[in-house]
């Protein structure tokens, strides 16, 4: 799915940004704005690059390992873009799994978060997508993903509540079914931060 998309059309973005500048009453040709459409087009290519990446490739670095305790990568920073306002939401993700004979290279967990973040997103969906991908491709006993983020669309506009953080979680497998595993992962996730 993600690979069959046509490439980002930079010329079309540039035209749209010129129209936007004109619509708000700006002089599209003044010095400071002359290169803005091209800059914005390059920016969107970068911020939305995850749409054209396939996160499944990261499961090539899966290793057989008899480790059967929780693996948790905490505080993975990410930047994403809310699809309702096209404004950034920024925060950190915590990704944990309970291996079943296979472990994943630790940097891959961060790359998977990036791949889903660099799209037009909804935080709830992103949280579930990371969990489902890990569950389907690593086939661990359980996966837990917690995402905490601050949404510009509610800090700088609308209700204007800077400092408010949205927390979403997705629990799969044992973390969902077994209350002891769930309590263990939740207490690890909420341990004091330095
Ligand atoms: Zn929004």
- 147-188 pLDDT, tens digit each: 999 999 999 988 888 889 999 999 999 999 999 999 999 898
Give start-end residues of each CATH 3.30.1130.10 domain in the chain.
Answer: 55-190
What confidence score (pLDDT) does residue 1 get? Answer: 47
Say whether 121 is catalytic. Answer: no
User: How many angstroms separate the alpha carbon of residue 80 from the centre of ligand 1?
Assistant: 11
What confidence score (pLDDT) does residue 5 get? Answer: 87
The residue that leads in pLDDT, 34 or 190, is: 34
Q: Which residues contact 14 (CB under 8 A, 6 or more apart)?
A: 37, 38, 40, 41
Q: Which of 83, 115, 129, 191 is catalytic?
A: 83
Domain 55-190 top-level CATH class: alpha beta
Q: Which of 58, 123, 129, 184 is catalytic?
A: 123
Q: Which residues contact 139 (CB under 8 A, 6 or more apart)?
A: 100, 102
What is the number of other CB atoms lying within 10 angstroms of the CB of residue 47? Answer: 17
What confidence score (pLDDT) does residue 27 get? Answer: 97
Dihedral in degrees, nearest 10, Cα atoms 133, 135, 136, 139: 140
Say whether 46 is catalytic. Answer: no
| 90-135: pLDDT as tens digits | 999 999 999 999 999 989 999 999 999 999 999 999 999 999 999 9
Beta strand 71-82 with 120-121: parallel, antiparallel or unpaired?
Answer: parallel
Q: How confident is the model at residue 3 (pLDDT cuts 50, 70, 90)?
A: low
What confidence score (pLDDT) does residue 22 get? Answer: 97
What confidence score (pLDDT) does residue 143 get? Answer: 97
Say whether 82 is catalytic. Answer: yes
What confidence score (pLDDT) does residue 48 get? Answer: 96
Integer Cα distance of 130 and 152 in angstroms: 22
- Quick one: average pLDDT of 58-76? 93
- 10 Å CB burial of residue 31 (0-12, 13-18, 19+) is exposed
What confidence score (pLDDT) does residue 192 get? Answer: 63
Integer Cα distance of 135 and 173 in angstroms: 8
User: How many angstroms separate the alpha carbon of residue 91 from the centre of ligand 1?
Assistant: 14
Q: Which of 85, 115, 129, 184 is catalytic?
A: 85
| 27-59: pLDDT as tens digits | 999 999 999 999 999 999 999 999 999 999 999
Integer Cα distance of 75 and 142 in angstroms: 19
What confidence score (pLDDT) does residue 61 get? Answer: 85
Enter the tokens of residue 1: 């799915």
Give start-end residues of each CATH 1.10.286.10 domain in the chain.
Answer: 10-47
User: How many angstroms separate the alpha carbon of residue 127 from the centre of ligand 1?
Assistant: 16
Dihedral in degrees, nearest 10, Cα atoms 58, 63, 65, 68: 10
What is the number of other CB atoms lying within 10 angstroms of the CB of residue 135? Answer: 18
In degrees and rounded to multiples of 5, residue 19 shows phi and psi of -65, -40
Say whether 115 is catalytic. Answer: no
CATH number of 10-47: 1.10.286.10
What is the number of other CB atoms lying within 10 angstroms of the CB of residue 172? Answer: 20
User: How many angstroms separate the alpha carbon of residue 158 from the centre of ligand 1?
Assistant: 9
- Quick one: average pLDDT of 55-82? 94
- Quick one: average pLDDT of 9-36? 97
Is residue 2 scored above 60 in pLDDT? no
At 188 the three-state DSSP class reads helix
Residue with tokens 């969990």, as numbered in its chain: 131
User: How many angstroms separate the alpha carbon of residue 153 from the centre of ligand 1?
Assistant: 5
């Amino acid at each position: 799915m993600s690979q069959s998309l046509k490439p980002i059309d930079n010329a079309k973005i540039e035209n749209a940004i010129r129209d936007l500048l004109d619509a708000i009453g700006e002089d599209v040709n003044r010095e400071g704005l002359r290169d803005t459409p091209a800059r914005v087009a390059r920016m969107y290519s970068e911020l939305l690059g995850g749409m054209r990446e396939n996160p499944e490739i990261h499961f090539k670095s899966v290793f057989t390992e008899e480790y059967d305790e929780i693996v948790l990568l905490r505080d993975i920073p990410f930047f994403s873009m809310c699809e309702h306002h096209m404004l950034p939401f920024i925060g950190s993700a915590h990704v944990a799994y309970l291996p079943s004979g296979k472990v994943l290279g630790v940097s891959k967990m961060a790359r998977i978060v990036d791949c889903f973040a660099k799209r037009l997103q909804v935080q709830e969906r992103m949280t579930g997508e990371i969990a489902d991908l890990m569950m389907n491709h690593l086939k661990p006993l359980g996966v837990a993903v917690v995402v905490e983020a601050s949404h510009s669309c509610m800090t700088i506009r609308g209700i204007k509540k800077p400092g408010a953080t949205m927390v979403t979680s997705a629990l799969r497998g044992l973390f969902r079914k077994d209350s002891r595993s769930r309590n263990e992962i939740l207490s690890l996730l909420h341990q004091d931060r330095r």
